[in-house]
Amino acid sequence: MVSRAQGERPQDLAGAVRPRASVIAPFAGSAADLSVFIKNLEVLERRPGDEVIVVDNRPGAPAPSAAPPNIVLHHAGAIATPAFARNEGSRLASAEWLVFVDADTRPQPDLLDAYFNTPPAPDTAVLAGGIVDVAARPTLVARHDVARGRMGQGMTLRRDGLPYAQTANCAVRRVAFEQVAGFDELARAGEDADLCFRLQRAGWKLEERPSATVEHRARQTLRACVAQNLVHGSGVAWLNRRWPGEFPAPGPRWLAVRTLGLTGRALRALASGDRQEAAFMLLDLAEVSARDLGRLLPNTPKRRG
């Protein structure tokens, strides 16, 4: 069950007590990307007891990176998954709520206050924040993701089957997180859905917080888009094995119908002069095809030495 709450704006709640929050972000990019991400996190408006933890998931022992004193930078590279990094960050955290964001996001300054403008119900474990796709460069692939709203929480909260929040931006009640033992850290993808499913089976609920937003940087190239969807496909297949029927594989007939349908729509858009929509339709086809192919890939990474 998902309930929606807009709440009051943070400035209307000056001095009000809200739960302490620990922001936790996995990271596995370049040193330059890490520097940019830390700057993005520095804009977060905090109250006493809030904390920000960045977990460096790169292998080995990366060169020391300068982090401001109000941000904890922790290295945990034994397992190459965001889930492992998030679990490690959660063990370091001390707050009542764990706020998960991804390294390719830029949180709005009022993110933490916006999460708690409306107090969560006592049986709510997950708050799904807003995710807005943005194009750092206006490539065709990036514009496609923005137009389709690929990372919007509505796609996962109002899907057929159990709803779930994406960990690009969500808050989880710490006691509930610990009750179900956190993320499955050996999962390359799909760990956010699996966590939400286990929490709901344990009696917890989800709420939506669309005003608690982050900007998500859209993929720039077709190669990056296909690679991402291959990983997502492996996660989808893994989830369907754990939760039969939640993410069923398409049959041959549906694959043919979908391929012919998207191709036909692309041709009609091209005939009408809408070249961009025609290209978007073909990108839709490339994404879903990569996701289906990804179902054949393992969802468990090799353990690092």
Residue range 48-62, pLDDT digits in tens: 999 999 999 998 867
Per-residue pLDDT, 9: 35
Q: Is residue 300 part of a domain?
A: no
Helices (H), 120-204: 140-148, 154-157, 174-179, 191-201
In this structure, the answer to whether residues 184 and 231 fall within a common structural domain is: no
Q: Is residue 303 part of a domain?
A: no
In this structure, the answer to whether residues 110 and 227 fall within a common structural domain is: no
Q: How many domains is the chain built from? A: 2
Residue with tokens 């929490």: 199
pTM comes to: 0.90
Contact at 8 Å (CB) between 81 and 185? yes
Contact at 8 Å (CB) between 171 and 99? yes
Q: Is residue 165 part of a domain?
A: yes
Which of 219, 235, 264 lies at the terminal end of a domain, its last residue?
219
In this structure, the answer to whether residues 137 and 286 fall within a common structural domain is: no
Question: What letter would DSSP give residue 272?
Answer: T
Nearest to 232 by CA among 294, 285, 171, 287: 294
3-state SS record for 112-126: HHHHCCCCCCCCEEE
Q: Is residue 301 part of a domain?
A: no
Per-residue pLDDT, 12: 41
In this structure, the answer to whether residues 179 and 288 fall within a common structural domain is: no
Range of the domain at 274: 223-294
3-state percent breakdown (helix, strand, coil) of the chain, nearest 5 = 40, 20, 40
Q: Is residue 87 part of a domain?
A: yes
The Cα 217–Cα 229 span in angstroms is 16
In this structure, the answer to whether residues 232 and 164 fall within a common structural domain is: no
In this structure, the answer to whether residues 201 and 248 fall within a common structural domain is: no
Nearest to 144 by CA among 294, 281, 24, 299: 281
Question: What letter would DSSP give residue 219?
Answer: -
The Cα 62–Cα 22 span in angstroms is 24
Per-residue pLDDT, 13: 43
Q: Which residues pair with 282 in a beta bridge?
A: none
Q: Is residue 256 part of a domain?
A: yes
In this structure, the answer to whether residues 111 and 238 fall within a common structural domain is: no
- What single letter denotes the amino acid at residue 278? A
In this structure, the answer to whether residues 134 and 267 fall within a common structural domain is: no
Q: Is residue 302 part of a domain?
A: no
The Cα 105–Cα 214 span in angstroms is 6
Averages of pLDDT over each 10 residues, the chain, 305 residues: 48 64 95 92 95 93 75 93 97 97 96 96 98 94 93 92 97 98 97 98 97 95 95 97 96 93 95 95 95 96 69
Q: Is the dihedral of CA 90, 93, 98, 101 positive or negative?
A: negative
Which of 201, 219, 237 lies at the terminal end of a domain, its last residue?
219
We report the CATH number of the domain holding residue 109 as 3.90.550.10
Per-residue pLDDT, 16: 59
Per-residue pLDDT, 305: 57
In this structure, the answer to whether residues 263 and 147 fall within a common structural domain is: no
Question: What letter would DSSP give residue 76?
Answer: -
The Cα 209–Cα 219 span in angstroms is 25
Which of 162, 192, 219 lies at the terminal end of a domain, its last residue?
219
Q: How many Cβ atoms sit within 10 Å of the Cβ of residue 5?
A: 17
In this structure, the answer to whether residues 159 and 12 fall within a common structural domain is: yes
Q: Is residue 119 part of a domain?
A: yes
In this structure, the answer to whether residues 142 and 247 fall within a common structural domain is: no
In this structure, the answer to whether residues 214 and 228 fall within a common structural domain is: no
